[in-house]
Structure 1
Amino acid sequence: MAQFTRVSGIVGLITLQNPPVNALSGALRQNIIDVMERALSDPKVKSVVICGQNGIFCGGADISEFGKKMGGTPLVPLIHSLEASNKPVVAAIEGVALGGGLELALGCHYRIAHSKARLGLPEVTLGMMPAAGGTQRLPRLIGIPAALNIITTGRHVTAAEALQLGFVDQVTDHNTVDAAVKFALSVAGQSMDARRISNFPCPCPSDVDALFEEMMQKVRQSARGAIAPIACVQGVRAAATLPYSQGMQREAELMATLVTSGQAYAQRYFFFAQRAAGRWRMPGGAGWDTSKPRAVHKAAVIGLGTMGRGIAVALVQTGLSVVAVETQEKQLMEAKQAVSGMLERGAKRSGAAPALDRIRYSQNLQAAGDVDLVIEAVFEDMNLKKKVFKQLSAICKPGTFLYTNTSGLDIDQLASETSNPELVVGMHFFAPAHVMKLLEVVYGPRSSPQAVATAMQLGKKMGKASVAVGNCRGFVGNRMLKHYKDQSYFLLEEGATPELVDGALEEFGFPMGPFRMYDLSGIDVGWRFRKEEGLVVPGLASGPSARVRRGLRYSPLGDLLCDQGRFGQKTGRGWYQYDKPGGRVARSDPWLHSFLEEYRAKNGLVARRVDRQEVLERCLYALINEGFRILEDGIAAGPEDIDVIYVFGYGWPKHRGGPMFYANMVGLAKVLERLEHYHQAHRDVPSLQPCSLLRRLVASGSPPINTWREVIKKLHSHL
């Protein structure tokens, strides 16, 4: 609803009321039209202020209406009616003005924002574009380059930046509605002809074609196959080259194409998938997400390597008091400097003071004795972590939650070292921990619901997408990634090159292919781990036994590179060559190609032509197949959990929805058929054998992805 009242005698106050974010549903749009007509027909009303209830102006369109026939007045004529008003209309922006909410504000004649408000046009993040005049009005108001930056990225803009750019008229630290009413009184009775943005000329440089060509190249590169950012550039170009009415028509045409696209469907799915993953529960269980988290005021981080430093920064930025423990003096001094630098840079970006006083450093584990929770982030070694957990169990006060940052070690083994295993939960952060959005919260068989709930809530406060997953080797993300990696190596053995594999997967939308990723993270990281596992056999370079470990097909290619001292970017040589150690620009390496030919010859392998489609199917379907096994095993509660993990943690292109959604879009029967084909050709790779859950879903008619949770629940109930 939109409520109408008259304040200060002559100002009509229209309050948007559609909790929680005053989304512009069909009913609300119609209501705004109705109360606006009332305000305009009231001779006592000389100006109008539009605000939102509960300190939020408007979060935009009602996403649940997308793809459906909308009721009520469409947003475009509503905004045109505001702009055409002969009485001044002032938007009082508190909280957020996003998407359609900002477009509504741009239809007003003036905009007053609270200093903590955020504004933006984030439609591109849903595979769409601003379609209520956003691509036409914003460039007319703030210029083409600034408008393109905001529209093609979907980023949120602070009130201070909005004032600087010129799309709000005033910023206040006080009551925004009061400030807007005061402003409305000052402009009452004035002509609004010069305030209608649709009448503004679009400020254009002399060579507008060159500007848009340059911008289109940049956007294509960063979009990695997403079509919405491209459409946004085309929409802004229409503002620069066409009259307003024709530009609006072009905006509508572009939006009509986007809204029905598979990419928009994927990104709308992902929007709701994030909500589903946040409503965590143990598969087949009940009540987990109703468990109340415990309040946390003080936390400890044990181990200040790369991950520990990032975790400490994330905790401080959340507002907690942090004790950072590192027993090695040199490492501690380096960590102090690094953490202080990260906090200062973060504060500079946010405009706040760096909270350096919230963190205290110690070389003694005893310093963690009075905290509410501990996050252990020592080196990924089970014996070392067991030792730390045993010590923490004796040192910490009763009830302290003991969390471990591990990428795949058994949570239950660590819990067994403590006197209260129910307090132990995994928190798998992704590097850099204070930046990356994903957090896998790993519960063991004895983890208490409250321990999990507290970890989930803490992740949320850090601004992360927290996903609760079960305890198994590699959890969800790394367990699936293993099979993706295996296929990338096997493809090289069979005739592919790193350039072909990377090119295919980057064209699909990954920010980088697997071999560029291995070079970036360090090929030696996995090599050292495989050595500890006994998988690396020194001196074994050829023959049948070189390519089999524990009865399964194994590729020693990465191990052989490490034997040559080729660790990736850090050494200037890996799967590619770099100008210098630490260099970032990957170039094809003739030595590597000769090495692959020699390896194939030694092992009796005949190179064949591998095409890009096979690369995609082998790498992606092997990964997806393991995703179905994870669902079958109850490690993830639903496909949404897996998709959120892969988009936020592993670079899966958001416009493709996530691996399980992608399987649904391709068709489960097609995925099953191709897996069967590749398993027939590679009997020594059991991970290519289709999962029984995939077979059951296909046999039951390939139900839509939003019903899989119920299907899986029924399957579990029959076990």
Structure 2
Amino acid sequence: MARYEQVHGSVALITLTGPPVNALSAAVRQGITDTVSRALGDPEVKSVVICGQNGVFCGGADIREFAKPTMGGPPLVPMMAAIEEGDKPVVAAIEGVALGGGLELALGCHYRIAHSKARLGLPEVTLGLLPAAGGTQRLPRLIGVAAALDLITTGRHVTAQQALKLGMVDQVAEQNTVEAAIQFAKQVEGKPLLPRKLSLQPTACPPEVDTLLEEAMAQVKRRARGAIAPVACVMAVRAAVTLPYQAGMQKEQELMSTLFRSSQARAMQYCFFAQRAVGRWKLPGGAHSVNTKPRPVTKAAVIGLGTMGRGITVALVKAGIAVVAVETNDKQLQTGKQIVCEMLKREAEKRKETPRLDLVHFTTSLAELKDSDLVIEAVFEDMPLKKQVFKELSSVCRADAFLCSNTSGLDVDELASVTRRPEMVVGMHFFAPAHVMRLLEVVCGRGSSPEAVATAMQLGKRLGKVSVAVGNCSGFVGNRMLKPYLEEANFLLEEGATPELVDAALEEFGFAMGVFRMSDLSGLDVGWRIRKEAGLTGPDVDPRDHPRRRQGRRYSPLPDLVCEQGRLGQKNGRGWYLYDKPGGRVATPDPSIHRFLEDYRLKHAISPRHIDRQEVVERCLFALINEGFRVLDDGIAAGPEDIDMIYVFGYGWPRHRGGPMFYAAMVGLPKVLERLEHYRQAHPDVPHLEPSALLRRLVDSGSPPIDTWRDFLQRPHSQL
């Protein structure tokens, strides 16, 4: 759909009309084709301006069409070629966004005028694809190879001013962009168009272009961690350097064809839609995100200025929310204040803004919370301490103030039980660093009101988080599923693996860090303290039981024994790996850890065996996935999308694998079931390897598509 009108006598104004972002659907492509043909064939028209309605130029392709067997309407490449090859100047008036195919459309035009608030980019790589309407061929010809590689392989957006500096646009307009483009079009009527047709221009290459491309490929492979789209992007740009335009276009199409059919593209497009779906939460009583109005939060409070509290405070201030930050004594308050202010200054410097230090009030008095709309408790992960805080908050806060806990796994209902308002209590599980990490688990207790859930979800969105509503159980979704993953990694060490082998297998799968490098980063003493509080360490519960069992099930004491040696991870330079100094980041294998493992196996008469990378991936990931099926069946997550977005945004699951549940569907549920049964037979003392009832039901039903799994849940969701 495109509206055609003739303005200022000689200018044809073509307006894309496909709300909300004028995506290049079949109808919009047909509209562009028809109106451009009309303008080029009208002798009264001397120039053309293309814009979008409602202040948005074009958000790119209509991703929903990707799932169709065939895409109707005119193809993009000939459409854009017709624009460029025409004998009348065509000017793109870019407002709002020009992304993906939208930017490629603008590159097919002869000139580009952008509003000062516009953003431009080629984000196809984030969907497992590459710009396939000439973007990989025209952009290097316009702004050079290095700049084009940066934008195409990362998918990042640039501002209008950055685009002007790069040479992507010809002018930046502060006010009426369309009118500025019309006036510009009239000025260039009759001028030679050959220099403005990018397909006819050579690619501007520096003398060391081969080295540049080789280095870019090496960097992309390191960063991509197995994702194939960024690699294909470099190959396409290389074609713009080494081949004539038409041959480069052919290469672009070949690469796109391979990507389009790949499981990685399906995974990343699944993530695109799943990220939007998780905001549509629903409670068992029928209340859901569509008909529940969140309450506005203008003033919040944070209790505790440790690592998490500081990050939460910074996240709130960055969102423009006034914060009362509370600590127990002056010394801790001053330490927290200094660090928070430094963090805010660094964040503001990155964004070239003035730090909003005025939005934070630091105090040791809970009485100053009387005007807060919402309070986030972020004290030490200790139930008695948190219950004491909630009891006090129930007394000092307004009756309509929401009380939230940043717990990573404690019982939200137990916290709510000490208040006079359980309906106002929800969990808000942030992930460290809280001002950076995208995930927020919003934990719904039995008494949590729809309004409380809606407000916490909306606040998370305002903070730039991907908010996922989950039920209340130990560990919620993310940490509950993480437990068997970590346990399997430790069992593999007992059986003959090394930390380096396990980590290498998981990093090859796509994780930024394997289990043991991540444990060193987090601090080994953190988990040790939790296990001690849970009664898992120390003497055996049953002295007749095997020394490696606790509470009737297999338990590996390896992490505890490592901590007892004073090895706490990066913080003191010694953990599962060695580091060059306390706080160092470069991990090197430690021979003393290898000797420690050998001695442990000898003591417990364990014969080490060869373990390959496939077993590492299957044991760790299938155990995690199996727990995910239990989470679904227990009603702690409403659907597989919730689990997948929690793991993609909170636990580093590689996006090109789609999330644990999507990955299980891609591997094949019968394969997952078969391997779990195999490992359960080999390790009968590990309950989490017993295939879940939901997994069995799905396999018995023919392994239906992932979007139908909700229909197979055993009972209504207990919490969601």
Q: Smaller-chain TM-score range?
A: over 0.9
Q: Counterparts in 2 of 1:458-497, with a 5 A limit? A: 458-497=459-498
Query: Residue 579 of structure 1 aligns with which residue?
Result: 580
Give the secondary structure class of the aligned counterpart of 2:497. coil
Look up the equivalent residue of 1:345 and give its one-letter code: R
- Which stretch of structure 1 is more off in the superposition, 330-339 or 641-650? 330-339
Query: Residue 50 of structure 2 aligns with which residue?
Result: 50
Contact (CA 8 Å) 1:79, 1:107: kept in 2 or not? yes
Contact (CA 8 Å) 1:282, 1:288: kept in 2 or not? no
Runs of 4 or more above 4 Å deviation:
283-286, 542-545, 713-717
Give the secondary structure class of the aligned counterpart of 1:546. coil
Cα distance between partner residues in 2 of 1:193 and 1:533: 74
Cα distance between partner residues in 2 of 1:603 and 1:612: 24
Q: Counterparts in 2 of 1:450-599, with a 5 A limit? A: 450-537=451-538, 545-599=546-600
Contact (CA 8 Å) 2:694, 2:712: kept in 1 or not? no
Query: Residue 61 of structure 1 aligns with which residue?
Result: 61
Look up the equivalent residue of 1:272 and give its one-letter code: F
Look up the equivalent residue of 1:360 and give its one-letter code: H
Contact (CA 8 Å) 1:67, 1:259: kept in 2 or not? no
Contact (CA 8 Å) 2:638, 2:717: kept in 1 or not? no
Structure 2 gap ranges (5+): none
> Does residue 121 in structure 1 map to residue 85 in structure 2?
no
Give the secondary structure class of the aligned counterpart of 1:66. helix
Question: How far did residue 9 of structure 1 move?
Answer: 2.7
Render the CA deviation track for 1:531-563: whole Å, top value 9, x for unaligned: 2222221799x9955311111111110111111
Cα distance between partner residues in 1 of 2:174 and 2:4: 25
Render the CA deviation track for 1:183-241: whole Å, top value 9, x for unaligned: 22222222211111112211112233222111111100000000000000000000011
Look up the equivalent residue of 2:191 and give its one-letter code: Q
Cα distance between partner residues in 1 of 2:674 and 2:709: 20
Query: Residue 16 of structure 1 aligns with which residue?
Result: 16
Give the secondary structure class of the aligned counterpart of 2:191. coil
Give the secondary structure class of the aligned counterpart of 2:547. helix
Cα distance between partner residues in 2 of 1:430 and 1:695: 33
Give the secondary structure class of the aligned counterpart of 2:410. coil
Contact (CA 8 Å) 2:636, 2:717: kept in 1 or not? no
Cα distance between partner residues in 1 of 2:208 and 2:197: 27
Look up the equivalent residue of 1:339 and give its one-letter code: V
Cα distance between partner residues in 2 of 1:204 and 1:605: 61
Render the CA deviation track for 1:226-260: whole Å, top value 9, x for unaligned: 00000000000000111111100000000000000
CA change 1:451–1:26 in 2 (3 A) is same
Render the CA deviation track for 1:497-542: whole Å, top value 9, x for unaligned: 10110010100000010000001100110001112222221799x9
Percentage identity across paired residues of the two chains? 69
Look up the equivalent residue of 2:502 and give its one-letter code: V
Query: Residue 355 of structure 2 aligns with which residue?
Result: 354
Cα distance between partner residues in 2 of 1:334 and 1:675: 49
Q: Counterparts in 2 of 1:44-443, with a 5 A limit? A: 44-68=44-68, 69-282=70-283, 285=286, 287=288, 289-443=290-444
Cα distance between partner residues in 2 of 1:321 and 1:532: 36
Question: How far did residue 325 of structure 1 move?
Answer: 1.4
Contact (CA 8 Å) 2:91, 2:181: kept in 1 or not? yes
Contact (CA 8 Å) 2:401, 2:424: kept in 1 or not? yes
Look up the equivalent residue of 1:156 and give its one-letter code: H
Cα distance between partner residues in 2 of 1:408 and 1:487: 20
Contact (CA 8 Å) 2:439, 2:466: kept in 1 or not? yes
- Which stretch of structure 1 is more off in the superposition, 236-245 or 708-717? 708-717
Structure 1 gap ranges (5+): none
Cα distance between partner residues in 2 of 1:211 and 1:438: 36
Number of residue pairs aligned between Structure 1 and Structure 2 = 716
CA change 1:533–1:137 in 2 (3 A) is same
Give the secondary structure class of the aligned counterpart of 1:216. helix
Give the secondary structure class of the aligned counterpart of 1:91. strand
Give the secondary structure class of the aligned counterpart of 2:20. coil
Look up the equivalent residue of 1:693 and give its one-letter code: L
Cα distance between partner residues in 1 of 2:323 and 2:55: 32
Cα distance between partner residues in 1 of 2:99 and 2:354: 27
Question: How far did residue 284 of structure 1 move?
Answer: 8.6
Contact (CA 8 Å) 2:540, 2:549: kept in 1 or not? no
Contact (CA 8 Å) 1:629, 1:693: kept in 2 or not? yes
Look up the equivalent residue of 1:593 and give its one-letter code: H
Cα distance between partner residues in 1 of 2:633 and 2:587: 39
Contact (CA 8 Å) 2:697, 2:712: kept in 1 or not? no
Give the secondary structure class of the aligned counterpart of 1:72. coil
Cα distance between partner residues in 1 of 2:289 and 2:5: 45
Cα distance between partner residues in 1 of 2:426 and 2:705: 33
CA change 1:284–1:371 in 2 (3 A) is closer
Cα distance between partner residues in 1 of 2:36 and 2:524: 64
Look up the equivalent residue of 1:31 and give its one-letter code: G
Look up the equivalent residue of 1:546 and give its one-letter code: P
Look up the equivalent residue of 1:250 and give its one-letter code: K
Give the secondary structure class of the aligned counterpart of 2:278. helix
Look up the equivalent residue of 1:183 and give its one-letter code: F
Query: Residue 698 of structure 1 aligns with which residue?
Result: 699
- Which stretch of structure 1 is more off in the superposition, 282-291 or 409-418? 282-291
Question: How far did residue 349 of structure 1 move?
Answer: 2.7
Look up the equivalent residue of 1:486 and give its one-letter code: E
Alpha-carbon RMSD = 1.7
> Does residue 656 in structure 1 map to residue 657 in structure 2?
yes
Cα distance between partner residues in 1 of 2:553 and 2:645: 30
Look up the equivalent residue of 1:130 and give its one-letter code: P
Cα distance between partner residues in 1 of 2:331 and 2:116: 43
Question: How far did residue 67 of structure 1 move?
Answer: 4.4
Query: Residue 444 of structure 1 aligns with which residue?
Result: 445
CA change 1:572–1:544 in 2 (3 A) is farther
Give the secondary structure class of the aligned counterpart of 1:290. coil
- Which stretch of structure 1 is more off in the superposition, 276-285 or 102-111? 276-285
Give the secondary structure class of the aligned counterpart of 1:399. coil
Look up the equivalent residue of 1:62 and give its one-letter code: D
Give the secondary structure class of the aligned counterpart of 2:713. helix
Give the secondary structure class of the aligned counterpart of 1:102. helix
Contact (CA 8 Å) 2:268, 2:657: kept in 1 or not? yes
Cα distance between partner residues in 2 of 1:161 and 1:381: 48
Cα distance between partner residues in 1 of 2:378 and 2:623: 31
Give the secondary structure class of the aligned counterpart of 1:651. coil
Give the secondary structure class of the aligned counterpart of 1:300. strand
Query: Residue 7 of structure 2 aligns with which residue?
Result: 7
- Which stretch of structure 1 is more off in the superposition, 394-403 or 351-360? 351-360
Question: How far did residue 450 of structure 1 move?
Answer: 0.6
Cα distance between partner residues in 2 of 1:578 and 1:312: 31
CA change 1:456–1:604 in 2 (3 A) is same
CA change 1:398–1:284 in 2 (3 A) is closer
Query: Residue 665 of structure 1 aligns with which residue?
Result: 666
Render the CA deviation track for 1:455-497: whole Å, top value 9, x for unaligned: 1111111111110000000000000000000000000001111
Contact (CA 8 Å) 1:282, 1:637: kept in 2 or not? no
Question: How far did residue 8 of structure 1 move?
Answer: 2.5
Contact (CA 8 Å) 1:369, 1:395: kept in 2 or not? yes
Contact (CA 8 Å) 1:86, 1:191: kept in 2 or not? no
CA change 1:340–1:12 in 2 (3 A) is farther
Query: Residue 39 of structure 1 aligns with which residue?
Result: 39
Cα distance between partner residues in 1 of 2:538 and 2:637: 34
CA change 1:150–1:560 in 2 (3 A) is same
Cα distance between partner residues in 1 of 2:689 and 2:594: 27
Give the secondary structure class of the aligned counterpart of 1:278. coil
Contact (CA 8 Å) 1:543, 1:603: kept in 2 or not? no
CA change 1:623–1:464 in 2 (3 A) is same
